[in-house]
Amino acid sequence: MSETNPTRPAGQVTGESEVAELCRDLIRIDTSNYGDGSGPGERAAAEYVAEKLAEFGLEPQIFESAKGRASTVARIAGEDPSRPALLIHGHTDVVPANADDWTHHPFAGEIADGCVWGRGAVDMKDMDAMTLAVVRDRLRTGRKPPRDIVLAFLADEEAGGVYGARHLVDKRPGLFEGVTEAIGEVGGFSFTVNENLRLYLVETAEKGMHWMRLTVDGTAGHGSMTNKDNAITELCEAVARLGRHEFPVRVTKSVRHFLDELSDALGVELDPEDMESTLARLGGIAKLIGATLRNTAQPTMLGAGYKVNVIPGQATAHVDGRFLPGFEDEFLAELDSVLGPRVRREDVHSDKAVETSFDGALVEAMQIALKAEDPIARAVPYCLSGGTDAKSFSELGIRCFGFAPLRLPPDLDFAGMFHGVDERVPVDGLTFGVRVLDRFIDAC
């Protein structure tokens, strides 16, 4: 079973042998995050993780930012305490799931057809389980990491991390003392190009966000009369303009690097201005990549009026805006020019974009670990169109990478599983991840 420790006696528990069970245990703890604090399970998940770490001598701490909003943090002493520490972080909450839509109940943690099924199987109880499995195995066999490692299992990522990562970064920065680099979601998964090459996409950048409310004030009145200042008409025109607006292609460092690697791998020139044909070659991951070439602003909610014969004095809309690292000012200016002077724009929630370079010893450690377990592996950087807890940790000056290694079957729609129905992770993807993470820690 174990390839990392072939000398161990048969039947002994290893990281590989217990990772699927850890993943299913975590899935069975319903940690749905509804965004209002009503979710049932973050405390139970924090306790489960703490117990699994304490079993082999770590002293994890549980922090509650509000009732039930619990995160677990532990520090593992490394061989050389003078070196900067590495953070490995994962969130334990998940988005809700409607059981009727699923083949296997989303909180049953069924293992079927070679996969662990359930909400969180790829986002991101898989990585939580892999981290636990590797750490437990190293503690069990007395293998210290080369430097200190801080482990953080966090609440509330799915609603912006205010009660999880953001809370710890603001209130308990001392927990991350000496940490200079971090790995977490969303990256490390494979994209098979051909029988000679498998790319592993490592996240090095994230778009930032502006969730906005748009308001137009008009003149209220009777629906039977003429009205040249109808708030709904004005707002809808602006929203329609925005919805149809295409922001220009902007190639950031991470995207440039990704396209270069990809064009090298495919042996063709890729034109960022003609992404239709490029994306067509990428299969399922096109969804991940397509949105990282430009800023976007999608209208998502509309509100106005209360009676069919009353013209309301105000109309509102909500817009989900995402900007590329380095293009926030351009994004806002362009947005305002498309919306026009009648629209008042307010932020409901915003977060910054982050980007780090794809270089250095830690990246080298990823390449080495992947290559050792998959000879046709090549790690490449990419930009995530969404956001993760990396935004919070980057405020502490930490370089954040999305590296949760998974070798996936080429036909699995991995990107479609995030927040999707029938989320599942192959068991041999998990065991692969355990072996890669173990080697990665050796080399880190």
Taking alpha carbons only, the member of 191, 210, 188 closest to residue 199 is 191
**CA dist 38 to 62, 66, 98, 349, 392, Å?**
19, 11, 16, 20, 23
206, 386 contact by CB (below 8 A):
yes
* Piece in contact with Zn ion (CB under 5 A), picked from 118-126, 304-312, 407-415, 430-438: 118-126
Burial of residue 142, with CB atoms counted within 10 A of its CB: 0-12 exposed, 13-18 middle, 19 or more buried: exposed
Answer positive or negative: Cα dihedral of 171, 176, 177, 182: negative
Q: Give the Cβ contact number of residue 99 at 10 Å.
A: 11
Give the residue with the Cβ less far from Zn ion, 121 or 282: 121
C-beta of 18 vs 185, nearer to Zn ion: 185
When asked if residue 42 is in the footprint of Zn ion (CB under 5 A), the reply is no
Number of amino acids touching Zn ion (CB under 5 A): 3
Nearer to Zn ion, 121 or 216 (CB): 121
Question: Which residue, chain included where needed, has tokens 């109940």?
Answer: 105
Q: Which CB sits closer to Zn ion, 109 or 387?
A: 387
Per CB under 5 A, which of residues 158..217 are in contact with Zn ion?
185
Q: Establish if 122 lies at the interface with Zn ion (CB under 5 A).
A: no
Sign of CA dihedral 159, 75, 45, 109: positive
Residue sitting closest to Zn ion (CB): 123
Among 110, 123, 203, 355, binds Zn ion (CB under 5 A): 123
Angle between helix 125-140 and 15-28 (nearest 10): 140
Kindly state the smallest distance separating residue 124's Cβ from Zn ion, in Å.
4
* Residues in 256-295 at the binding interface with Zn ion, rule: CB under 5 A: none
**Smallest distance from the beta carbon of 79 to Zn ion, in angstroms?**
31
Segment contacting Zn ion by CB under 5 A, of 121-129, 362-370, 390-398, 421-429 = 121-129
Q: Which amino acid is at 12?
A: Q
124 binds Zn ion (CB under 5 A): yes
Residue among 394, 318, 382 at smallest CA distance from 353: 394
CB atoms within 10 A of CB 358: 21
Binding track over 401-430 against Zn ion, x by CB under 5 A: ------------------------------
Task: Give the pair of three-digit tokens for residue 156.
Answer: 């509330």
C-beta closer to Zn ion: residue 34 or 113: 34
Kindly state whether residue 134 participates in binding Zn ion, applying the rule CB under 5 A: no
> Residue 159 CB, nearest distance to Zn ion (Å)?
11
- Residue number, 78 or 90, with CB nearest to Zn ion: 90
Which residue number, 187 or 325, has a Cβ lying nearer to Zn ion?
A: 187
Applying CB under 5 A, the residues found at the interface with Zn ion are 123-124, 185
